[in-house]
Amino acid sequence: MWRIWSKQFTEQIQIKEIKAARLLILLSKWFKKSEPFDVTSIIFKKVLSRRLAVQALYQWQLNEQPIDKIIEEFKSSKLYTNIDAEYFAYLLTNIDSKFEELKKMIEKASNLSWGRIQPVEKGVILIGVLELQSGILDPHITINECVELSKHFGSEDGYKFINGVLDSIKSNL
């Protein structure tokens, strides 16, 4: 089952990458740049890092493998070459080390037990809470990125749940 889901997830990411690359090229022409935008820019790599991290966290929840082993497995992925590998590892290792703290924050903000939250939403929220807690990005950007991840890979209305939980956590930090 994991392999089928993984293949579908990877195909969805590749389609989104192509659409994003086309959009960036169109934007670069619109702004009359001499060269198209670099589709592997720092921002784009971080977006892809988050997407791959959601997939890795899904695997981590289902298989309960050590996070280091999962990171090693993902290094062989075609998508791994296009991401910010350091950021990907940062997300996963810090979520692993701070898991209980992050989980308690999520349960408190959502008023749900951990077991009632869907696995994909768990991964997205964990990434969001870690980014909010660390102050890496502006909180609004973090929440927006997580909402977009949830729209693409989560349940139909999961993005509303993600938005509410992360907004609540942002207010309490």
CA triple 109-149-64, angle to 5 deg: 70
- State the pLDDT at residue 2: 45
**Distance between CA atoms of residues 101 and 92, nearest Å:** 15
> Domain range for residue 21?
2-172
- State the pLDDT at residue 82: 83
Q: Angle, to 10 degrees, between the axis of helix 85-97 and the axis of helix 119-134?
A: 100
- State the pLDDT at residue 19: 60
Q: How many Cβ atoms from other residues are within 10 Å of residue 114's Cβ?
A: 11
Number of domains in the chain: 1
- State the pLDDT at residue 133: 95
Kindly report the CATH number assigned to the domain that includes residue 38.
Answer: 1.10.940.10
Per-residue pLDDT tens, the chain, 173 aa: give them: 444 544 555 555 555 655 665 555 555 554 444 445 555 577 888 999 999 999 999 999 999 899 999 999 999 888 788 889 999 999 999 999 999 999 999 999 999 999 999 999 999 999 999 999 999 889 999 999 999 999 988 888 999 999 999 999 999 88
Q: How many Cβ atoms from other residues are within 10 Å of residue 7's Cβ?
A: 10
- State the pLDDT at residue 34: 46
